[in-house]
């Protein structure tokens, strides 16, 4: 016998049975009484209950990353995010089950397997695409989950998000206030929903302010950042300011400008997103959209513990990345 037998007989969810047998909040007294009566009728012994409930609890959260593992070490975002998750998990003796796969389909298959074999108490979903099949599966299966990203792509699941559009607009306004009229955005992977949100905000804000906004697509690697920066700065109508989608591409862009003999910020301004220790140790130090990614990871973990405990789905806004102005942005002096 399992607790699902009790759930079926009592006409309630497995979670409600678990709550009732454990004496935890989250079910009405009426439901609790019915569950306990059914459990008694079925001869449910406390020792059996204890064992089944212990088996149901894996003390593990899962995360499947659909990224090329060869590029994972390049930027600090994921390591900081994992570190933030681990800060909360370690307080409760939880582990993180991590698998890197090649595609969204493989990620879905892994989540299905973990759910089927009861490997995790809940999962964190990152890098969502539009109409993401992972969000749909998780919503259907009832596997506790938190989506890292905009509520608009979370498919009704609990989400923790940052207002990337607001951050992008702040960066564009900062550059325009310094006199820049030709700004380039060095963007990350176009398949990711949050990249598109940044793309749209960049296009809207440059349009609104009447300045030229050029979109340069990359795969987040410093090689790509270097290449598109060189092409842009040696082109016919070079930008006087660039906003990069990660820190290593911004550092690569700074180096390209210096190699071309262009002063930073005298001739070219540079903004990095996210901020990192790297941005504070270049010369000049990099102006950056700063977000505490470690705290973000901890926030996500706390919300997932809440979901596992039965909280209703909700969207939680994490702190909005804000502009930290350092030495790499200044008044536009070139023809622009």
121: three-class secondary structure by DSSP: coil
CA distances from 236 to 38, 41, 239, 251, 279 (A): 78, 82, 10, 23, 29
Sites for a second copy among residues 97-156 (CB under 8 A): 97-102, 110, 119
The count of other CB atoms within 10 Å of the CB of residue 283 is 10
Cα gap 160→126, rounded to integer Å: 10
Binding segment for a second copy among 5-13, 44-52, 92-100, 210-218 (CB under 8 A)?
Answer: 92-100
Shortest CA distance to 205 belongs to which of 215, 194, 190? Answer: 215
- Number of residues binding to a second copy, judged by CB under 8 A: 50
* Residue 260, both tokens: 């071309």
DSSP string of 9-29, one letter each residue: HHTS-HHHHHHHHHT-SSS-H
Q: Tell me the closest approach of the beta carbon of residue 327 to a second copy, in angstroms.
A: 11
Q: What are phi and psi of 145, to 5 degrees?
A: -150, 155
Radius of gyration of the chain (CA): 24
Under rule CB under 8 A, residue 91 binds a second copy: no
Contact 64, 145 (CB under 8 A): no
The stretch among 125-133, 169-177, 277-285, 305-313 that binds a second copy (CB under 8 A) is 277-285
Name the E strands within the chain: 60-66, 95-101, 122-125, 145-148, 158-161, 182-187, 212-217, 241-244, 269-273, 287-290, 315-317, 322-324
Stretch that binds a second copy, among 13-21, 96-104, 129-137, 302-310 (CB under 8 A): 96-104
Residue window 49-78: x/- pattern of binding to a second copy, with contact defined by CB under 8 A:
-----------x-x------xx-xxx-xxx
Question: Please, what is the minimum distance in Å from the beta carbon of residue 127 to a second copy?
Answer: 15
- Per rule CB under 8 A, is residue 294 in the interface with a second copy? yes
Distance CA 181, CA 256 (A): 21
With binding defined as CB under 8 A, does residue 82 bind a second copy?
yes
Q: Quick one: how far is CA 336 from the chain centroid?
A: 36
- By beta-carbon proximity to a second copy, the closer residue of 5 and 86 is 86
If the CB atoms of residues 8 and 68 are measured against a second copy, the closer one turns out to be 68
Contacts of 234 by beta carbon, 8 Å cutoff, 6+ apart: 260
Q: How far apart are CA 305 and CA 309, in angstroms?
A: 6
Considering only the stretches 3-11, 30-38, 196-204, 271-279, report the one whose residues sit in contact with a second copy under the rule CB under 8 A.
271-279
Backbone angles phi, psi at 54, to 5 degrees: -65, -40
Segment 175 to 214, residues that bind a second copy, using CB under 8 A: none
Instruction: Using CB under 8 A, pick the residue from 36, 96, 129, 224 that binds a second copy.
Output: 96
Considering only residues 238-257, where is the footprint of a second copy by CB under 8 A? Answer: 248, 251-252, 254-255
What are the structure tokens assigned to 61, written together?
């959260």
**Would you count residue 283 as binding a second copy (CB under 8 A)?**
yes
Q: Which of 126, 218, 269, 282 binds a second copy (CB under 8 A)?
A: 282
Q: According to CB under 8 A, which one of 33, 208, 259, 333 is a site residue for a second copy?
A: 259
Q: Does 89 bind a second copy (CB under 8 A)?
A: yes
Q: Rank residues 204 and 292 by Cβ distance to a second copy and give the closer one.
A: 292
Report in angstroms how near the CB of residue 254 gets to a second copy at its nearest.
Answer: 8
Which positions lie near a second copy, rule CB under 8 A?
60, 62, 69-70, 72-74, 76-84, 86-87, 89-90, 94-102, 110, 119, 221-222, 226, 248, 251-252, 254-255, 258-259, 276-278, 280-283, 293-294
């Amino acid at each position: 016998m399992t607790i699902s037998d009790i759930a079926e007989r009592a006409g309630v969810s497995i979670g409600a049975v678990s709550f009732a047998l454990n004496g935890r909040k989250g079910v009405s007294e009426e439901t609790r009484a019915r569950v306990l009566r059914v459990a008694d009728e079925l001869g449910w012994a406390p020792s059996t209950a204890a064992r089944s409930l212990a088996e149901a609890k894996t003390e593990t959260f899962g995360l499947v990353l659909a990224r090329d593992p060869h590029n994972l070490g390049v930027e600090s975002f994921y390591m900081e995010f994992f570190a933030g998750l681990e800060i909360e998990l370690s307080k409760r003796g939880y582990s993180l089950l991590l698998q890197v796969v090649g595609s969204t389909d493989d990620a879905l298959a892994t989540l299905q397997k973990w759910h089927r074999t009861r490997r995790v108490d809940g999962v964190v979903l990152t890098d969502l695409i539009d109409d993401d099949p992972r969000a749909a599966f998780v919503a259907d299966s009832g596997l506790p989950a938190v989506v890292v990203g905009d509520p608009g792509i979370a498919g009704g699941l609990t989400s923790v998000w940052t207002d990337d559009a607001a951050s992008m607009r702040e960066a564009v306004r900062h550059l325009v206030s310094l006199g820049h009229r030709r700004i380039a955005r060095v963007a990350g992977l176009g398949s990711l929903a949050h990249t598109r949100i940044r793309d749209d905000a960049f296009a809207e804000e440059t349009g609104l302010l009447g300045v030229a906004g050029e979109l340069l697509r990359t795969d987040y690697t410093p090689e790509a950042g270097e290449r598109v920066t060189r092409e842009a700065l040696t082109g016919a109508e070079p930008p006087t300011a660039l906003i990069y989608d990660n820190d290593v591409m911004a550092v690569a862009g700074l180096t390209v400008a210096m190699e071309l003999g262009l002063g930073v910020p005298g001739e070219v301004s540079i903004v990095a997103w996210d901020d990192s220790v790297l941005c504070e140790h270049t010369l000049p130090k990099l102006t950056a959209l700063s977000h505490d990614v470690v705290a973000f990871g901890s926030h996500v973990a706390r919300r997932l513990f809440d979901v596992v405990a039965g909280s209703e789905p909700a969207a939680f806004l994490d702190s909005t990345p804000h502009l930290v102005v350092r030495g790499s942005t200044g008044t536009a002096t070139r023809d622009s």
